[in-house]
Amino acid sequence: MNPSYQIDELPHAFPQLPISAEIRTVPEDFVVDEELGFSPTGEGEHAFLHIRKRGMNTEDIARILARQSNVPRKAVSYAGLKDRNAVTSQYFSVHLPGKNDPDWQDMADSSLEFLSINRHRKKIRRGGLQKNAFRLLLRGFDGNSELAEQRLAQIKSSGVPNYFTAQRFGHNANNLHHADEMLMNGRRIKDRFKRNIYYSAARSWLFNLLLAERIRSNTWNKAIQGDSMMLSGSRSCFHIDTIDEEIRKRVDELDISPTGPLWGRGSSMLTAEAAEIETASLSDWQCWKEGLEKAGQQMARRSLRMPVADLSWNWPEENQLELKFSLLPGCYATAVLRELGEFSEPERKQSF
């Protein structure tokens, strides 16, 4: 195993460019807006809140909402985790059966703004979004702007590897170290939220290892015999035994992509060459795989490729590059950046 868990050591899809810049110099440089794809019904047991936050993480907000509503933390739901070092708008639901809404605006301050307050019949579920829209400002850009624009055009047409990046694994990959203690040494974690975070980190790292091997074999964006293919924008998968022109055409058009495992109980859905690559790439991680299965995690699939929709760019000032794009739920903007160059944060100095 690799005790360092360095995301930087994972291979890139495209040749690395001599480009660097700083990201998240201030939270306003990294803006993320959730887009639901539906509207709340206006009635029901769930308060449905659209919130903009600055300098706070998602779980902070969830706990505050629970306290304000005098409900257990588990009564608060959200679609996905958003980073602390950003300005993000996201949706929360609070289960309030037979109760009136508290005065939500009492919570508002410079870090927390209520964009809309509504009601809905169902709670919001994890991943229950249409997409996330990003606006990133890269400061101190150092490199050839023409090369950068050529690479951005390549990313727009081809997509990028759908890596889980450093945010998934915590500061200094601590989530993976905790996961290793649980899966290898039997350490018990009482806090359910933390336990699930560590299991998710472990499954994400195994996925990254398989994706890395598919990049090395130049098959991360190609269908191979025995693959499980995912339809873009959905979680629907289908198995392929043979690869015909129709399959190749759909892959080239980003309509379908090969998948990798989010490890757990159940079949991997792979055969032939695809199964051989997956088995070989994870052969040193048998204890983790068995531990995740024993913990009750269920096998799932994730696309190896990330389409980068609506990608545009401009140069607002000298040495500044602004990017706008949309990603499907569960995809990371920093996985896009790592295919463009090397980007660091002034405070944490963390490379992607």
Question: How many angstroms separate the CA atoms of 305 and 79, rounded?
Answer: 21
Residues 1-22 pLDDT 10s: 445 688 888 999 999 999 999 9
Residues 260-319 pLDDT 10s: 999 999 998 899 999 999 999 999 999 999 999 999 999 999 999 999 999 999 999 999
What pLDDT sits at residue 139?
97
DSSP H stretches of helix in 79-129: none
What pLDDT sits at residue 69?
94
Closest CA to 95 of 128, 119, 117: 119
CATH architecture label of 161-306: 2-Layer Sandwich (3.30)
Whether the per-residue pLDDT at 236 is higher than 70: the answer is yes
Question: Which residues sit opposite 265 in a β-bridge?
Answer: 298
Whether the per-residue pLDDT at 84 is higher than 80: the answer is yes
33 flagged as catalytic: no
Domain boundaries, the chain: 38-120, 161-306
pTM exceeds 0.85: yes
Question: How many angstroms separate the CA atoms of 157 and 252, rounded?
Answer: 9
What pLDDT sits at residue 3?
56
The CATH topology of domain 38-120 is: Pseudouridine synthase (3.30.2350)
Q: Tell me which of 33, 60, 83, 103 is the catalytic residue.
A: 83
